[in-house]
Structure 1
């Protein structure tokens, strides 16, 4: 697995920070239309401590958030949206096929389907060992950064 972007480079591009930062590397960029990012899961993740602690699994909402972060990175790396921020406008048809557990390597895929102005749609899916664990569709909105 070739790493195209590491944690430091990703954090320079998107605003997410601990405890809600879920990308460890980028392994694939294609024509500003597709990205594959990776999240390596360890038992040290804070959510494993409280979400079914006797049967630890990553909450589905956080898998969707990780997919959104990968998509945000793809969107914000495009020349058209430099210096902007990507927001989730909608999540549709989210399906969770299997659990994601400590020790898993979660591959996060995001394909832009259409962009019109500052609004777009995308298909996203997450895999572990080549098996789909989650899939959904996003509507995203690109806007100015909020003041912090």
Structure 2
């Protein structure tokens, strides 16, 4: 099963910063005891970071998670909550990127992650680039990047 945990990209400074969001719904299949599992909150943050890399590389490079320096969960996500995702690049080379970010709900932080290290790999080895372009257009709703 593949989870798409980004519904919209609100702002993006390619190679530097992205703000995105995810509206949760009771109809999603991942709820456990009425809450979103913490690993999926982290996954949403990582997906925002992947879009930051994809957009910054004009869809040539994709981020693949290697490690998480730290992740602190400070709140719960319930059905109907909107995840606000804020990711910044700490460093980037041709082969790796390190990002840090925060997930909040209604202005309250539910996750702070630091030093998320990703390998940068050729995007066309993982996915159809035309489909990726369509998804980017849907997420950014035509915003000029």
1:132 has 2:115 as partner? no
Q: Deviations over 1:64-89 (max 9, x none)?
A: 1111110000101113x632321011
1:30 has 2:9 as partner? no
Partners of 2:28 and 2:2 in 1: how far apart?
Answer: 9
Equivalent positions of 1:1-148 (< 5 A) are: 19-48=2-31, 51-52=32-33, 56-79=34-57, 82-137=59-114, 138-145=116-123, 146=125
User: TM-score, with normalisation over the residues of structure 2?
Assistant: 0.79
Partners of 1:74 and 1:144 in 2: how far apart?
Answer: 15
RMSD between superposed Cα atoms in Å: 1.7
Partners of 2:95 and 2:17 in 1: how far apart?
Answer: 18
Q: Extract unaligned runs of 5+ from structure 1.
A: 1-17
Structure 1 residues 141 and 147, CA gap change in structure 2 (3 angstroms):
closer
Which structure would you say has the larger RCO, counting Cα contacts within 8 Å and 6 or more residues apart?
2
